[in-house]
Amino acid sequence: MAKLFKEAGRVKNVLSANAEHYAQIEGLLDEEDFKVLVTREDLENLMQDLFERVGKPIEQALKTAHLTKEIIGQVVLVGAGTRVPKVQEILQKVVGQDLAKNLNTDEAATLGAVYKAADLSTGFQVKKFLTKDAVIYPIQVVFERETQEGIKQVKRTLFGLMNPYPQKKIITFNKHMTDFSFNVNYADLEYLQNNEIANVGSLNLSEVSLIGVVDALKKHTGDNIETKGIKTHFAMDDSGILNLMNVELVVEKTVTETEEEGTFSKLGSTISKLFGGEEKPVLEEPESNQKPEESTEEKPPSKDQPKNDTENKNATEKETSKEVKPKIITLKEPIEATEKFLTVNVLNKKQFEESVTKLGKLDKTEKELNRRATALNNLESFVIDVQNRLYEDDFVAAATEDEAKKIKESCSEVSDWLYEDGSDADADTYEKKLEQLKTLTNDLFGRVWEHNERPEALNALNSMLNHSSHFLINAKNLTKTTNPEKDIFTDVEVESLEKLIKETEEWKEKTIEEQNKLKKYEPIRLTVRSITEKMAALDREVKYLVNKIKLWRPKKVEKPKEEKEEVEKKQEEEEKPAEEEAKVTEEENTIETPDVKEHQQDDEIKPSKSEESEDKHSEL
C-alpha cells in the first residue's frame, strides 16, 4: 500500500502538466510488476466529489466578511494543490477573473508572513499591508438564573463572529446573590461545514466557579450602597487564546464630601490606606459612558457682578458652615474564581513539578541507555577490527610474536566476556575495557601508520628540497657581490639557506639508512613528524626570502650634473613653441590658460619619500 500511495502522489503531480502518464511499480505483488496508463480525465473523475468543495471557502469568506466578489482585486494561489488544472478552472469561475500566478504556491504563505513581519517591524519600510485578526469561532457564556417560572438557562455572546482581537470583554451578572458557576462554550457554528465542525471537537471550553459571593455582598451593605453586579473580565490575546483575567463585585457608594476639603487631606487619606494593615477595596471613578449626577453645589458668582449685601451675607455663612455635596465612589471587591478546562486538564503546581521531575528522569535514563549502547557497539567493533587486522601483512610485520599473542588473548577474553557476564554491564565498564585495549594496541597501530605514511612524507620533503635548491641558485644572483643593481639578499641570508638545505639532505640520507636497517616491529627512527618539522624549517626560510623580493624596490640613481643641465636645456627649447602658441590662443579667445612651463616643471620626476624609505633594508 505504501508503494501504491507514493506512486499515486507522483502520478498526480505529473498529470498537472501532462494529459496522461504511466503509473508503474516494480515487484508490487509476488514479484509481478505493475503498470497502468492514467489520464488526467480519469483522475478528475475520481476526484469529482472533492472538486465540489473548491469554491466554498471563497464563498464562505465573502459571506462572513459581508463582501462581494466584485471588490476582489487579485487572487493569489497558496499550496501545491492549486497546481491541479481543474482546481484552477473552478477557482477562476468562482471569482470571475484570471488567477495570479506570479508567486510559487509552495512559498506564497511564507512570503506573505515575511512581508507582514516587515510591515510590523520598524526596521523596514514597505507598502502598507492591512490585515486584521478576527474571531471565526464565536464564544459565548452559558449560566443558569432563577426566575418565577423556574431555573432558566441564559446564553450571552462573549466574542461574536468576526470580532477583531486582541480585545477585552466584560460579562456582568446582576441577579446572582450566592456562589454560582458558568460555562464558556463555542457559540453557534452552523455557518461552518460539517467536516470543519467535526475538526473543532468539543464545543465546551471551560467551567468557571465563583466562590465568596455571599461574603462580598455582606461586606458591602447599607443605605447608601447600590450593587452593580459581578463583573467577569476576559481577554483574547494576539494568538486568539481566551483567558479569564479576574472576577470582582462592583458596588457604588454615595458619600458626602465637604466642598473645601483640601488636596492634602485627600492625599493623607490615600497614604493611610496604603500603609494600613487591612486591605481596602480598590476605588474607581464612574465609567465614562455613565452620566455624572447633577451637582448640588452652587456656582460661584462671577467677578463682573457687583457685590451686594446678600453676597456678603453668604460669604459670612460660608465661613461659619461648610457646604456638603454627594459623591459616588465605586468599590471593587475581588471574587475567588476557579477555572476548570473541559478540553485539556491543566496540571496544578504539584502535578506540574512531579511531571517535570518524571520527564527529567526519563531523559536521564534514555541518555544512559544511548551511552551504554554506543559504548557496547564501540567495544565490539574495536575487538572485531583488531582481530581481523592481526592477520594482515602490515600488522604481522609490525608486531612481535609476544605482542601479537598478548593482543589476541586480550581480544578473545573481551569477546567471550561480552557474550557472557558482560552482556548486562554498564557504560562505564564498556568504556574502561575499550580504553585498556586501545592502550595495548597503540604502539602497534602507531608503527603501522608510520610505515604506511612515511613514503608520502619523504616525497613531499624531496619536492621541497628541489624547489629550495632552484630558489637558492636564483638567490645567489641577487646579492650585492654578484649583482650590485639588484642586491635583494645579503650573503648571510643566502649562506643560511644553503646550509639548511645541505643539513636537511644529509639528515634525510642518514635517517633513511638507519631506518632501513631496522625491522618493522622495532622502534621507529625516521618518523613522519620529524620529516614535517624539516619541511616546516625549509618553508619558513624560503618564504622569508620570497617576501623580501616582493618588498624590494630599486634604488634611484641620480644623473651627473652636466647631463642634467643638458636635459633641462632641451626641455626649455621644447617648451618655447608651446608657450608662444598658448599666448596666441589667449589673445584670440581672451581666456586665461595656465602657464605650461609651470605645469611641466611640476611634472618633473623627483624621488618620492616612499621610495627613499623602502630603499632601506635590514639584515638578519
Check pLDDT > 90 for residue 138: yes
Section 500-524 average pLDDT: 92
The enclosing domain of 335 has a CATH number of 2.60.34.10
Check pLDDT > 80 for residue 2: yes
Cell of 213: 459571593
Residues 33 and 161 in one domain: no
pLDDT of residue 181: 94
Check pLDDT > 60 for residue 244: yes
In a domain, 468, yes or no: yes
CB 57 within 8 A of CB 191: no
Q: Which residue has the higher pLDDT, 615 or 551?
A: 551
pLDDT of residue 595: 43
Q: Which residue has the higher pLDDT, 546 or 488?
A: 546
Q: Give percent of the chain with pLDDT exceeding 90.
A: 41
In a domain, 45, yes or no: no
Section 554-575 average pLDDT: 63
Q: Indicate the pairing of strand 242-258 with strand 324-334.
A: antiparallel
In a domain, 207, yes or no: yes
pLDDT of residue 465: 93
The lowest-confidence range among 149-153, 308-312, 455-459 is 308-312
Domain boundary among 552, 576, 591: 552
The lowest-confidence range among 80-84, 269-273, 379-383, 429-433 is 269-273
Residues 376 and 404 in one domain: yes
Q: Name the band, by pLDDT with cuts 50, 70 and 90, for residue 574.
A: low
What whole-number distance in Å separates Cα of residue 511 and Cα of residue 177? 105
In a domain, 12, yes or no: yes
Residues 428 and 406 in one domain: yes
Strands of 287-412, DSSP E: 324-334, 336-341
Q: Name the band, by pLDDT with cuts 50, 70 and 90, for residue 562.
A: low
The enclosing domain of 508 has a CATH number of 1.20.1270.10
What whole-number distance in Å separates Cα of residue 52 and Cα of residue 109? 24
pLDDT of residue 270: 54
pLDDT of residue 83: 86
Domain boundary among 106, 131, 156: 131
pLDDT of residue 198: 85
In a domain, 70, yes or no: yes
Check pLDDT > 70 for residue 289: no
Q: Which residue has the higher pLDDT, 478 or 454?
A: 454
Secondary structure element (H or E) that encloses residue 493, with its range: helix 491-517
The lowest-confidence range among 184-188, 345-349, 394-398, 563-567 is 563-567
Looking at every residue in the chain, the average pLDDT score rounds to 80
pLDDT of residue 147: 80
Q: Which residues contact 510 (CB under 8 A, 6 or more apart)?
A: none
Residues 383 and 490 in one domain: yes
Check pLDDT > 80 for residue 585: no
Check pLDDT > 90 for residue 366: yes
Residues 71 and 187 in one domain: no
Question: Residue 84: how many CB atoms within 10 A of its CB?
Answer: 21
Section 310-331 average pLDDT: 62
Residues 508 and 376 in one domain: yes
pLDDT of residue 146: 83
The enclosing domain of 94 has a CATH number of 3.30.420.40
Residues 234 and 370 in one domain: no
Check pLDDT > 70 for residue 283: no
**Per the structure, how many domains does the chain have?**
4
Instruction: Let me know if 55 is exposed, middle or buried by CB neighbors in 10 A (0-12, 13-18, 19+).
Output: middle
CB 387 within 8 A of CB 408: yes
Residue type, 401: E
pLDDT of residue 576: 56
Section 541-567 average pLDDT: 75
Residues 145 and 243 in one domain: yes
In a domain, 501, yes or no: yes
Residues 373 and 513 in one domain: yes
The lowest-confidence range among 81-90, 186-195, 376-385 is 186-195
pLDDT of residue 456: 94
In a domain, 189, yes or no: yes
What whole-number distance in Å separates Cα of residue 300 and Cα of residue 575? 103
Residues 355 and 446 in one domain: yes
Section 533-558 average pLDDT: 85
- HSE-CB of 381 using CA atoms within 13 angstroms: 7
Section 569-596 average pLDDT: 48
In a domain, 448, yes or no: yes
Check pLDDT > 60 for residue 607: no
What whole-number distance in Å separates Cα of residue 508 and Cα of residue 505? 5
Secondary structure element (H or E) that encloses residue 49, with its range: helix 48-51
pLDDT of residue 188: 86
Check pLDDT > 80 for residue 399: yes
What whole-number distance in Å separates Cα of residue 199 and Cα of residue 298? 66
Q: Which residue has the higher pLDDT, 14 or 613?
A: 14
Check pLDDT > 50 for residue 603: no
Q: Indicate the pairing of strand 242-258 with strand 225-236.
A: antiparallel
DSSP 8-state secondary structure symbol assigned to residue 76 = B
pLDDT of residue 610: 39
Strand partners, 109: none
What whole-number distance in Å separates Cα of residue 398 and Cα of residue 444? 7
Residues 89 and 200 in one domain: no
Range of the domain at 122: 53-131
Reported pTM: 0.49
CB 404 within 8 A of CB 392: no
Residues 241 and 220 in one domain: yes
